[in-house]
A and B are shown apart, each in its own frame.
Chain A
Amino acid sequence: KQEVTQIPAALSVPEGENLVLNCSFTDSAIYNLQWFRQDPGKGLTSLLLIQSSQREQTSGRLNASLDKSSGRSTLYIAASQPGDSATYLCAVRDGTGTASKLTFGTGTRLQVTL
């Protein structure tokens, strides 16, 4: 059974800092991995999707890397801003592809202060 862990559970940083959020998974036979953000009381917004054959994806100030063999992914946020404050979740789709389940991590709650 796939288990996804995110560390740290919460993080507070001053504006402008670069930061790294971690996601680890127990079964390395994954199909893809997605990073989402969730604002309080809202749905999820997709940030980046990395296919199992890829090593990283970039979008603006965000960069996500994937190391399947070690069961880890990191989300790097450059030059953090107060608007980045949210909960960040990673989700792993297992290796059977389109008909497989998505397993979410418990999230990292990020606060960027002025």
Chain B
Amino acid sequence: KAGVTQTPRYLIKTRGQQVTLSCSPISGHRSVSWYQQTPGQGLQFLFEYFSETQRNKGNFPGRFSGRQFSNSRSEMNVSTLELGDSALYLCASSFGGANVLTFGAGSRLTVL
């Protein structure tokens, strides 16, 4: 079966712009969570959605937002990009959130 698909895989933006990343979970998975990975901070939890509802949120500014659609696909948006937002953004899906997570390959964002 298809894995977790993230698009785009790579993107370059400039400071002040906004970006939207997409995540299609494994069929049947209702939980999607997002993570930011940087060399300095490691992997940090952004937020989790379950059945179109945000169930949990990490310690990130309001510029980071997300949503989940009725087909469980999820998007995250970062507005007013800063240089420090350059990172690998990973999403993961699971049946119920506390089960085994399956990760996508990530979206690598570079902010110039």
Partner-B contacts on A (CB < 8 A): 31-32, 34, 36, 41-46, 49, 89, 91, 93, 97-107
Q: How many residues of B contact A (CB 8 A)?
A: 27
In the complex, chain B residues whose CB is within 8 Å of the CB of A46: 100-103
**CA gap between A49 and B45 in the complex, in Å:** 18
Closest CB pairs A-B (n = 8): A43-B103, A104-B43, A44-B103, A98-B98, A98-B97, A43-B105, A106-B42, A46-B100
Count contacts between A and B, CB distance < 8 Å.
Answer: 56
Partner-A contacts on B (CB < 8 A): 4, 6, 33, 35, 42-45, 48, 55-56, 58, 88, 90, 92, 96-106, 108
B101 to chain A, nearest CB (A): 6
Instruction: Choose one: B43, B97, B106; the contact of A89 (CB below 8 Å).
Output: B43
Instruction: Choose one: A44, A97, A103, A104; the contact of B98 (CB below 8 Å).
Output: A97
B24 to chain A, nearest CB (A): 13
In the complex, chain A residues whose CB is within 8 Å of the CB of B102: 46
B84 to chain A, nearest CB (A): 18
**CA gap between A98 and B99 in the complex, in Å:** 8
Whether A101 and B98, one on each chain, are in contact in the complex, defined by CB atoms closer than 8 angstroms, is: no
